[in-house]
Amino acid sequence: MKIAMVGFRGIPHTYGGGEDLVRYLATGLVSRGHDVIVYCRYNLFKNHDKYYKGVRRIFLPTIEHKFIGQLFHAFFSIIDLLFRKVDIIYIHTLPSGVYSIIPWIFNKRIVVNPNGFDWKRGKWGFIGKLYFRLSARICLFTAKEFITDSKTIRKYYLDTFNRDSTFVAYGTEIQKSENKEIINKYDVVGRDYYLIACRLVPENNIDLIIKAFSQTNSKKKLLVAGDANFKNSWVHNLYSINDPRIKFLGHISDQNMLKELHCNCFAYLHGHSMGGINPSLVKALGHENCVLALNTPYNSEVLISNNGVQYGIFFEKDYRDLKKIIEKLEADPSIADSYRQKATKRIYEAFTYGHIVSGYEKAFIKALK
């Protein structure tokens, strides 16, 4: 098949889970004999080589803006695609999904992953939420195949819109520490810190995690790796917290550094409440982390296997509950050790990129039929 992918910053890029997905998915499909095009945002790359590991890269400009950058880029990408012969147009996330109506008019085969339901995210106002609802409706109408990355989200779309979808979770690689000394850059050593690695947005509950940690007497540090793509009073309040144990590292594009921070932390803290199966949670297991995760149906899908084995520790949306868990772990570090030792077993069960590439490949073939 010849497959074009729209809705990402590009390949390779380190911004978020979507960029991790396309890096492995596109190259995995190429290794299976498919031709893959990924549309990239020109200004975000210094290297504009035509190919990346066999994947054709097409660079198009956009207005680099925190809200409309992806909207313009997706529009230009879809227009460009009208003049190319492809079998499948894969559109990732609802910000880009609204444009699926254009290739649909020309009888193109479209596959969409809405990546959750953006209209429920707290960061969007009335207009933004209305836009995402409209985009979802359009995608449900235009897509030959609908892909969801969570069984909970699959059920939501089925119950709400009477549209079934193909469930394909996110994946990751198993990573082990190779050069732990580089984390000394942040004035920490192995097992001396907790780690958060995500975008700074309200639905990730970083404020709750920080409040819980700051109420403990822990001698460890809390490292927050990630940034906000826009600043507001909520983000400002995070940065203004006065606790010398808490360090904001910003976005880390160096994947070796991020790997070492993961592999050597005492525990990984995951407060995501929206968006289905989150890539950063899957990645944390792949780095043999002891994971402390907010108790949601999405996080449970990752951390509890079909036979009931639990691969992480859940906390409620109450800083006092997380505070007790942190204190319990520090009183008995062997608990954290036990979760690290079994973490990667869960990845082998359900979240390898081999599973993911096969799932998308089957969905694309189904759309062709």
List, for residues 206-223, the tens digit of each pLDDT value.
Answer: 999 999 999 999 999 999
192 and 162 part of one domain? no
144 and 185 inside one domain:
no
Tokens of 252: 């880390």
Mark whether 143 and 63 lie in a shared domain: yes
Q: How far apart are CA 114 and CA 162, in angstroms?
A: 15
Q: Tell whether 189 and 163 lie within a shared domain.
A: no
Range of the domain at 164: 2-171+352-368
Q: Do 92 and 138 belong to one domain?
A: yes
Residues 304 and 358 in one domain: no
**Residue 199 corresponds to which tokens in the numbers above?**
């975008």
| Same domain (yes/no): 322, 357 | no
pLDDT in tens, 93-151: 898 999 999 999 999 999 999 988 877 776 678 888 899 999 999 999 999 999 999 99
**Are 357 and 311 in a shared domain?**
no
Q: What is the pLDDT of residues 328-369, one digit of tens each?
A: 999 999 999 999 999 999 999 989 888 899 999 999 999 998
Q: Is the pLDDT of residue 242 over 90?
A: no
Q: How confident is the model at residue 25 (pLDDT cuts 50, 70, 90)?
A: very high
Same domain, 29 and 164: yes
Based on the fold, state whether residues 361 and 344 are members of the same structural domain: no
> Tell me, what's the pLDDT at 66?
64
> Quick one: 268 and 188 in the same domain?
yes
Condensed to tens digits (0 to 9), the pLDDT of residues 288-310 reads: 999 999 999 999 999 999 899 99
DSSP 181: G
Domain count for the chain, please give it: 2
The helix or strand, by DSSP H or E, that contains position 250, with its residue range, turns out to be strand 246-250
Q: Residue 51 is part of a domain; what is its CATH number?
A: 3.40.50.2000
Same domain membership, residue 280 and residue 309: yes
Single-letter amino acid, residue 202: P
Distance of CA 205 to the CA centre of its chain: 15
